[in-house]
Chains A and B, each alone.
Chain A
Amino acid sequence: MLHRERIPLLWFFFQAVVVVAWCFTDMETGPGAGVSTQPNGDRFKIEGRAIVPGLKTQDWVSTARILVEGEEYVGFLRTDGSFAVNDVPSGSYVVEIVTPAHRFEPVRVDITSKGKMRARLVNYIKTSEVIRQPYPLQVRANGPHTYFMKRETWGWTDFLMNPMVMMMVLPLLIIVLLPKVVNTNDPEMRKEMEQSMNMLNPNPELPDVSELMTKLFSGSKGSSKAGSSSSKGTRPAVKRR
């Protein structure tokens, strides 16, 4: 309850403002739909035309219906795409064109007790807001219904562009290609590299964490303290010999 109360209050206020402004321009606010249907009251006709761009009318009219306020009044489309819903009493109605294949925007049609018609955009939140639409209705389909989700397709580019893959592949390339490009056996080069590594390591006195761990676990068998980690790369090869 608590959650409900606040927002409606705001709307009431906003609506009140809109309604007051609106009442000056238009007499009829279109009272409750369908409630006041006297059997002898005047009945009116909602007319319009539905257009599906790029399609012949006979291909889709047989699957279409005009629904006025749900299924309160039902109309059908003529072979040329026009329609008329007869026998509608005065009131305010949401007119929808429903077909399984095409999407049409609903329109609100207000009918005064004298039979004056007006069409406007449907706005369920600000119900009294008026954005005029042409009457007789001209409703154009804005594309087919999208019923289906796209399957996630799998492609090589998706795979390669994946950040995880990039993170894995780039270091691999460096590991594989760098020793080929740079000759590690050259002592000058080696010295240079060691220097650059030392520069990267801010405090050479501080023991490396991994180094510390291996020492801790392997006990006395552990390797002697090495100055830099760059020498690691060559050591296994030495062992293998």
Chain B
Amino acid sequence: AMARLIWLCLKCIMLYSTVQAVFEDQVGKFDWRQQYVGKVRFSHFDSHVQSSKKVLVATENNVFASLNTRTGELFWRHVDKTGPEGNIDALLQHGQDAVLVVGNGRLLRSWEINIGGLNWEIVLDSGSFQSACLVGQQDTVKHVAVLKKTIISLHYLSNGHQKWIENLPESETVDYQAVYSGGNGEVYALGVVPHSHIAIVAYSLEDGEIIKQVIQMYTPWLSNIQASCSVIDQGVLTCVDSATVSLYMLDLHLQSQMTQIPLQLYVQAFLKKDDSVGYRVIVQTEDHTLTFIQQPGRVMWTREEALSDVVTMEMVDLPLTGTQAELEGEFGKKADGLMSMVLKRLSSQLILLQAWIAHLWKLFYDARKPRSQVKNDVTIENLSRDEFNLQKMMVMVTASGKLFGIDSKTGSILWRHYLNNIPSNPAFKLMVQRTTAHFPHPPQCTLLIKDKDTGLATLHVFNPIFGKKSHISPPPLPQPILQSLILPLMDQDYAKVLLLVDDQYKVSAFPSTKNVLQQLQEMASSIFFYLIDSSQGRLSGYRLRTDLSTELIWEVVVPTEVQRIVSVKGKRPNEHVHSQGRVMGDRSVLYKYLNPNLLAVVLESTDLHQERSFVGILLIDGVTGRIIHEAVQRKARGPVHVVHSENWVVYEYWSTKSRRNEFSVIELYEGMELYNSTVFSSLDRPHAPQVLQQSYIFPSSISTMEATLTEKGITSRHLLIGLPSGGILSLPKMFLDPRRPEIVTEQSREENLIPYAPELLIRTEWFINYNQTVSRVRGIYTAPSGLESTCLVVAYGLDIYQTRVYPSKQFDVLKDDYDYMLISSVLLALFFATMISKRLAEVKLLNRAWR
């Protein structure tokens, strides 16, 4: 215990000296957050107070929130569990209370909508939920009725207690779908026998006795009351038959024969809710945009709720400004005579000077205005790269098929593009084929949209800066696509080549110009790729032939009855490793095993019993299929989160034995000597790497994990861990280092190794998003910036959060708290001191000379 205490102390000392954190004055300087709720399922205007500015929304992402009708901002938001257990089935509102039915009728919740706290929550009897309504009597609503498949129950609105519960008659044949109360002491349950008739049962409010039971009316067209009927005031049931375009009406109290009114109907499917005071409308369109329109058709605000479901994203460098591009263009063009070259150079220099003066003038002009008035509106026209390349374009792909271009500095949406023909179960892969570096060729992104059910895919080629669809027509893909890969090869227009492998193992290239095909033929023998078939448990490696057919070269089969392949992680292609090895305490070098073709394959046991379940990691060379290392964690289960980078793999799993989350790190080293220091080839590495592994306890479950990335890889690495609490923890990689010693020695101290401690700590100072929690983080995207010290981070889930991190502090720029005042005042003071002392010395000399 004492030793542990000392370790902890040591650790703390280390931390203070090494770890960066957010300073309070940096809040909002380079980070922003956008909060979303998701696709709206129910909404209610809070109308019990005339001046209320609230609208309540319940969404398909299991979020219940209150929005400000003036601005569209959130008052409060409650994020429930994902999946069917948090599913919101109904939303009712009365006064300050909102009643929700959650989890297919499992829970009944009442919320206080002003402060956003819970009034009560009760568990309902099992049974599939059908409908719910508020029950009132003489203008006072005191109860809520819940209709399920076979039962109807009545609850007090004040505390949720059940007043009565009754079985529904003939529930085997009648499909009860709606419940209604007109305020006269009766509760009606409306059911339908599909294609036959409507059944109506009236219950007494007081004791749940059946007052009336009517089974009549031949309604062969009606199968779903909820979809085609509603009860309008005074208890008149109105139903629409869309086949014959007719409206049926039925008075519930009188039970007269249903009257038929032929009518032309235009159902506006996206109209969510109307309000009687003038009108206020919330419109949700197919692309999940929520628009609020008031009185004379004025759009008050819009919320892009599609962004609550970001699937994948990329960050693209912004283009140079027009003048910079002009200068660049000069080098791109062919030379035509000395004189014209000189003239061109002079003219472009002149343009640069002009732009610089204009910039200075703008600075001067802005400085005179009060700060609040200076607005730097980012528009697509004035987008340009800043000097450190910190501002980038975030291209986000959402599950609804809407693409967004977001400015990373401010978070404003610069373009949006809705793809219409998205399959119902899509998978997306976004690739940058050409960056902005190749002026005058426009940057180009390609989105591969694959239908998960059929495997058929389409390509959407667009300009990531402006969002416009490219004029290049992508090739038609008639066969299901198994794998896609971006090659480092470029065509004559500097677009990287995208290879697509179809289910006949035939390869097609995009772009497929003659130049590309020729290059492919030359390179074919060194192009390898792998395919994963998780249902068969098969991992196979292929090689490209010169005729663009493929040849199987290795195969690894995992027995599917024992374990299954959960995920396969390679390294990021744009990752740079600066140092080849680590300097040991005795000044020797331990070289890293830097295999760019290494794949980390995560396996989970099919047996989930806590004694027998396990998690496995396979490290496979993607070219040769050689298994470099195999690690198994017994009595562990997923979900497994993996980060694979440099020479290490970090993964996290749930230990069923100790009921805790654990981290494990594997590091691979070549040893004290490098086999071939100039080039790495998977085919020529005779020695197996040394493998080191260590595990730690982590005191929280995690949602997602990613490693920081910088331009040259000099900066030390941090792991960014999304926690369920909404924090994003920046954990220095040096805590996950298998060389952490149990006993501190002189050498380990020399190497700056932290002594081993079983538990990793979560410190809130390490939260890069301080109190700006990000709900349900699904992914963290990291991108290098032009500064080596700085890594751009975007966390997305229900919310989007963008910030910068400095894993080794800001070593290449002056800190933002740099004291210009002090340094200049010291300099000035020194200057004057020398002046004065010089003068004094002169006077003294003179005096002495006179003596």
Instruction: Decide: B692 and A96 in contact? CB cutoff 8 A.
Output: no
Task: Check if A139 is an interface residue, CB within 8 A of chain B.
Answer: no
CB-defined interface of A59-70 with B at 8 Å, one 1/0 digit per residue? 001110101011
A22 at interface (Cβ–Cβ under 8 A)?
A: no
A124 in contact with B759 given A4-B693, A33-B659 (CB within 8 Å): yes
Do the beta carbons of B656 and A98 come within 8 Å of each other?
no
Q: A4-B694, A76-B78, A154-B819 are in contact. Are A70 and B659 (CB under 8 A)?
A: no
- How would residues 13 to 34 of chain A score, 1 for a CB under 8 Å from any chain B CB and 0 otherwise? 0000000000000000001110
- The verdict on B756 contacting chain A, using a C-beta distance below 8 Å, is yes
| Chain B residues, CB < 8 A from A152 | 817
**B206 interfacial by beta-carbon distance below 8 Å:** no
Question: With A and B bound together, what is the CA distance between A74 and B659 in angstroms?
Answer: 18
Q: CB within 8 A of B25: which of A145, A146, A151?
A: A151
Stretch of B113-121, B317-325, B402-410 on the interface side: B113-121
Which residues from chain A contact B726 at a C-beta distance below 8 Å? 98, 100
> What residues of A have a CB within 8 angstroms of the CB of B138 in the complex?
none
A79-119 CB mask vs B (1 if < 8 Å, else 0) is 10001101100001000101011010010000000000000
CA of A192 to CA of B660, assembled, Å: 79
In the complex, the answer to whether B120 meets A78 with C-beta atoms within 8 Å is yes
Q: Does A239 contact B (CB under 8 A)?
A: no
* B16 (CB) vs chain A CBs: closest residue: A149
Q: How far is the CB of B471 from chain A (nearest CB, A)?
A: 46
B571 contacts chain A at the CB level, 8 A cutoff: no
A74 neighbours in B (Cβ, 8 Å): 79-81, 86
Residues of B within 8 A of A98 (CB): 724-726
Query: How many whole Å from B161's CB to the nearest CB in chain A?
Result: 14
Binds A, one of B197-205, B252-260, B536-544, B695-703: B695-703
Our pick among A1, A7, A58 for the contact of B758 (Cβ within 8 Å) is: A7
Chain B nearest Cβ from A143, distance in angstroms: 11
Q: For this complex, into which size category does the number of interface residues on chain A fall?
A: 35 or more
Contacts of A2 in B (CB 8 A): 692
**Chain B contacts of A77 at CB under 8 A?**
117-118
B233 shortest CB reach to chain A, Å: 33
Q: Is A241 an interface residue (CB 8 A)?
A: yes
In the complex, whether B112 has a CB less than 8 A from a CB of chain A is: yes
A residues less than 8 Å from B123 (CB atoms): 43, 45, 86-87
Tell me how far the C-beta of A65 lies from the nearest C-beta in chain B, rounded to whole angstroms.
Answer: 7
Q: From residue B431, how far is it (CB to closest CB) to chain A in Å?
A: 32
**Contact mask B670-703 → A, CB, 8 Å, 1/0?**
0000000000000000000001111101011101
A178-219 vs B, CB cutoff 8 Å, 1 = contact: the mask equals 000000000000000000000000000000000000000000
B661 to chain A: closest CB distance in Å? Answer: 8
Does residue A35 face the partner (Cβ distance < 8 Å to B)?
A: yes
B115 x A61 contact (CB < 8 A) = yes
Across the interface, which residues of A come within 8 angstroms of B130, CB to CB?
none
List, in ascending order, chain A residues with CB within 8 A of B742's CB.
Answer: 3, 6-7
Binary per-residue interface labels of chain A (28-61) against chain B in the complex, 1 for a CB within 8 Å, 0 otherwise = 0001110100000001010000000000011001
Q: Which residues of B contact A1 (CB under 8 A)?
A: 631, 691-693
Are A61 and B724 interface neighbours, CB within 8 A?
no
Task: Write out the residue numbers on chain B whose beta carbons fall within 8 Å of the beta carbon of A70.
Answer: 700-701, 724
CB within 8 Å for A148 and B115 given contacts A65-B79, A86-B107, A241-B848: no
Q: Which of B709-762 contact A (CB under 8 A)?
A: 724-726, 738-742, 756, 758-759
| Cα(A2)–Cα(B693), bound, Å | 8
Report yes or no: A3 in contact with B692, Cβ–Cβ below 8 A: yes
Inter-chain contact A35/B764, CB cutoff 8 Å:
no
A71 CA / B81 CA spacing, docked (Å): 7
**Which residue of A32, A62, A122, A124 contacts B76 across the interface (Cβ within 8 Å)?**
A62
Report A49 CB to chain B, min CB distance, Å: 13
Residue of B nearest to A69 (CB): B701
B842 interface residue (CB < 8 Å to A): no
Cβ contact of B118, chosen from A76, A125, A154, cutoff 8 A: A76
Instruction: Closest A residue to B62 by CB, please name it.
Output: A74
Closest-by-CB residue of A relative to B766 is A147
- How many angstroms between the C-alpha atoms of A100 and B608 in the bound complex? 35
Cβ-closest chain B residue relative to A92: B659
Report the minimal beta-carbon distance from A227 to chain B, rounded to whole angstroms. Answer: 27
Contacting residues, chain B, for A148 (C-beta < 8 A): 21-24, 765, 770
Q: Is A79 a contact partner of B112 (Cβ separation < 8 A)?
A: yes
Closest to A127 in B: B658
Q: Which of B22, B86, B109, B817 contacts A147 (CB 8 A)?
A: B22
Q: Which residues of B contact A (CB under 8 A)?
A: 21-25, 76, 78-82, 85-86, 103, 106-107, 109, 112, 115-123, 608-610, 631, 637, 656, 658-660, 691-695, 697, 699-701, 703, 724-726, 738-742, 756, 758-759, 764-765, 767, 770-773, 776, 817, 819, 822, 845, 848
Pairs A-B, 5 closest by C-beta atoms:
A62-B116, A70-B701, A79-B117, A147-B770, A32-B610
A binding-site residues for B, Cβ under 8 Å: 1-4, 6-7, 11, 31-33, 35, 43, 45, 57-58, 61-63, 65, 67, 69-79, 83-84, 86-87, 92, 96, 98, 100-101, 103, 106, 122, 124-125, 127, 145-149, 151-152, 154, 240-241
**5 pairs across A/B with beta carbons < 8 Å?**
A74-B80, A83-B118, A100-B726, A125-B697, A147-B765
